[in-house]
Amino acid sequence: MLPTETRVISLGIIGILASLALISILTKSILNKNFQIKIDNSGLFLGLIQHSKKLIYWKDITKIESINIEGIRHIIIYVKNVEYYGENEKGIQKYFFNSKMKKYKTPFVINVTALSENFDTIINSIITNWKKYKE
């Protein structure tokens, strides 16, 4: 069965829109000035993630662990009150938030390979400060 002209045009438009969305996400990531992890008395600021709420309060963290995903180590941060962190998510951000929730039971799956510190230093610092500040 040969494709119709309408189908070809429709798929072309969908492809262009998907490409524009991907370019927008990549541009935001590249130009992100807060591409870092900051630790303070309030909590853990994750400039690495694409969620609207990047500050995870110490009081909300229930567990921190390390897992391997396709041979790359990631930090998984489990939180209570997940609804609070997901309430402002829209569009593609909401999709990623929900897909991580389904797969890992938390939206905070952090790949730290792009940071200058090594993995063990980062996770140990996060865990040490969490234990220090948690209520």
Predicted local distance difference test score (pLDDT) of residue 79: 93
Stated as kind and residue range, the H or E segment containing 55 is: strand 55-57
- Indicate whether this model's pTM tops 0.75: no
Distance of alpha carbon 37 from alpha carbon 44, whole angstroms: 7
- Note the pLDDT tens digit of each residue in 57-93: 999 999 999 999 888 899 999 999 899 988 888 888 8
Per-residue pLDDT of the chain (135 residues; tens, 9 = 90+): 678 999 999 999 999 999 998 888 777 766 766 667 888 888 988 877 777 788 899 999 999 999 998 888 999 999 998 999 888 888 888 888 899 999 999 999 888 777 778 888 989 999 999 998 875
Buried b (16+ CB within 10 A) or exposed e, 92-123: ebeebbeebbeebebbbbbebeeeeeebeebb
Could you identify the residue written with the tokens 């948690």?
Answer: 134
| pLDDT at position 58 | 92
- Domain extents for the chain? 1-31, 34-133
SS3 call for 74: strand
